[in-house]
Chain A
Amino acid sequence: NAGVTQTPKFQVLKTGQSMTLQCAQDMNHEYMSWYRQDPGMGLRLIHYSVGAGITDQGEVPNGYNVSRSTTEDFPLRLLSAAPSQTSVYFCASSYNGAGRANVLTFGAGSRLTVL
């Protein structure tokens, strides 16, 4: 099993460019989420989804778009990149029940630099 696959691992963008971070999981998880990690800030939730066709905003959604057309995929779109979006991005997924079903499986992370 591949688990959670994030691509690309590294990306450098210029201010104003757009791009999509891809996230795919093969565990039939209903819940998928995107976090960004910045020094001293922990992991902050950008967007999440509890099932195909359902998405919701997290703590820091501005400048990002998501969609969930299939159970497996949850891409994160940067509409017009800004230097403030320089960060490490993690995609994570889990089942949507209670208890240990909520343990997240993480992707390896994507390091994005916006110049």
Chain B
Amino acid sequence: AQKITQTQPGMFVQEKEAVTLDCTYDTSDPSYGLFWYKQPSSGEMIFLIYQGSYDQQNATEGRYSLNFQKARKSANLVISASQLGDSAMYFCAMREHQAGTALIFGKGTTLSVSS
């Protein structure tokens, strides 16, 4: 069964610094996708970045990059040059590609950015 683990309940970073949010996963399916979502205090869920298990390169989307280490089963989110607006809850998620499976989430990490 697939499983997602986020071990950092809270992280603190200063503006303009980089921060890494950890995510490990477990699956027996060789084909799967990994996702990161952001949830600001307003409550909506915002998709940030996607990484496929067969992708050769780490995904990047603007200031977001995904440090994908397949052998370690980790998919850490790196936010470069943090901004005050990055303060939010961040969720890692995974979905196996075999038919009939669901997308599951980790428990999330709260990121606080200070000036």
> Taking beta carbons and an 8 Å cutoff, which residues of A are in contact with B?
33, 35, 40-45, 48, 50, 54, 56, 58-59, 88, 90, 92, 94, 98-100, 102-104, 106, 108-109
Other-chain residue from A40, A43, A103 in contact with B47 (beta carbon distance below 8 A): A103
Further 4 A-B residue pairs, CB within 8 A, beyond A41-B107, A102-B50: A33-B102, A104-B47, A106-B44, A108-B43
**Residues of A close to B52: CB separation below 8 A:** 98-99
Residue of B nearest to A49 (CB): B102
> Taking beta carbons and an 8 Å cutoff, which residues of B are in contact with A?
6, 9, 31, 33, 35, 37, 43-45, 47, 50, 52, 91, 93, 95, 97, 99-100, 102-108
Q: How many A-B residue pairs have CB under 8 A?
A: 63
Give Cα A102 to B37, complex, Å.
Answer: 13
Q: Is the CB of A42 within 8 A of B107?
A: yes
Q: Is the CB of A50 within 8 A of B45?
A: no
Q: Is the CB of A102 within 8 A of B33?
A: yes
Give Cα A33 to B105, complex, Å.
Answer: 12
Other-chain residue from A45, A50, A88 in contact with B100 (beta carbon distance below 8 A): A50
Give Cα A41 to B52, complex, Å.
Answer: 25
**Residues of A close to B50: CB separation below 8 A:** 99-100, 102-103
Q: Is the CB of B105 within 8 A of A35?
A: yes
Q: Is the CB of B43 within 8 A of A56?
A: no
Give Cα A90 to B44, complex, Å.
Answer: 9
Give Cα A35 to B99, complex, Å.
Answer: 20
